[in-house]
Amino acid sequence: MSDNNKTELSSVRLSIVMEWENTRLHGTPRAEILLDRLVRQWQMIVAGDYPANLSPEGEMYLERLEDRAQLIIASGEVPGPILNGELEHQLNECFDFVIEVVEGLEYYPLKNYGAERADGDLIFFVDSDVLPEEGWLAHLLASFSCSETDVVAGQTYVAPTSLFAKAFALGWTYALRDDSGALLKPTKFYANNIMFRGDIFRRTRFRSVGKRSRGAATLLRQDLDKIGVSIWENRMARVDHPPPMGLRHMIVRALAHGRDHYMKYSEQRSLEGFYRSTGVAAKRLGIGFRRTFRDWRRVDLKRWQVPVVLTIISSYYGFFALGSLLTHINPNMMTRHFRV
């Protein structure tokens, strides 16, 4: 399509915001793979090389995209050279690329900070630790070919690449990988792979979660509901989220998970918070067991591995419940530690 035709249809500017917080746990190799795939997929979009299963309406929308997108990496600590020279060169070739550093900011505040500097018609939040599949970016962008679509999340799953990962694919918060390609309204969405029309996100932003580490996606859904905005999930836009990085990270993540659910409605000590959060741990343990017994073949488990997976799931939700108990005993200590 000619530049004149792009102008007649009104061009679309994309801003990509990536937090750098998760590299503290998972390191930079995953982030570099993600950025390399982002470059390659954006180059394909600009060249008009679209996925074969993209709709004609989706292709027409992608043709309206400006050739240069904006890429903002938001970091909460002063980094050294965070990217290798060749990758940084590729990013500067493809994007209006900048690294923004604000010391002390955590996960959601970094996203908000990056969004404040975004000038796009679309604002795309992608986490530094997810790995996208082929066609991910094109499918997510093409979702906006419908004028009534304001917010679209991709699908996030845990790839069952090891016995430990299989336990989290079955027992953690994410559903198993779904290749149906459905576009649906999800019961739950995540902030690690989600795109907004810019004016919609600027009306809401991620609300403060107070002393917690996570939970702003739930609050955002409430805010979007109030202004009549629906969230969609495009299951053609899939990313692999890593499981915890070993036993220590699993324990820390589970303790933080319990604390965050304890403080979901109140940061004050309360029996209600304790009963509710431990109840969530028990419920999710039950869901993990049911999914394991139902879907163990889908993740290529051997029969003898099923008890091992159940043990890992039980350990995670045991520490989740312990996090709730420790928060009830000493909420200030739990607030200072386990910032994941």
Residue type, 182: A
- 8 A C-beta contact, residue 138 and residue 214: no
Phi, psi of 151 (to 5 degrees): -140, 130
- Give the pLDDT score at 7: 45
245-258 burial, b if ≥16 CB within 10 A, otherwise e?
Answer: eeeeebbbbbbbbb
* pLDDT of amino acid 9: 73
Which pLDDT does position 81 carry in this prediction? 52
Rounded Cα gap, residues 141 and 77, in angstroms = 31
CB 189 within 8 A of CB 238: no
Local structure of residue 53 (DSSP, 8 states) = T
Give, for all 340 residues of the chain, the pLDDT tens digit. Answer: 445 444 457 899 999 999 998 988 888 889 999 999 999 999 999 999 999 999 999 999 999 999 999 999 998 876 555 677 788 889 999 999 999 988 889 999 999 999 999 999 999 999 999 999 999 999 999 999 999 999 999 999 999 999 999 999 999 999 999 999 889 999 899 999 999 999 999 999 999 999 999 899 999 999 999 999 999 999 999 999 999 999 999 999 999 999 999 999 889 899 999 999 999 999 999 999 999 999 999 999 999 999 999 999 999 999 999 999 999 999 999 999 998 8
The model's pTM? 0.93
Residue 5: per-residue pLDDT: 47
Place of tokens 């070993």: 246
* Rg, C-alpha atoms of the chain: 20
What integer pLDDT is reported at residue 79 of this predicted model? 55
At 160, list the tokens.
């069952």
Q: Residue 275's pLDDT is what?
A: 95
| Residue 202: count of CB within 10 angstroms of its CB | 13
pLDDT value of residue 54: 94
d(CA 75, CA 63): 32
Q: How high is the pLDDT of residue 2?
A: 45
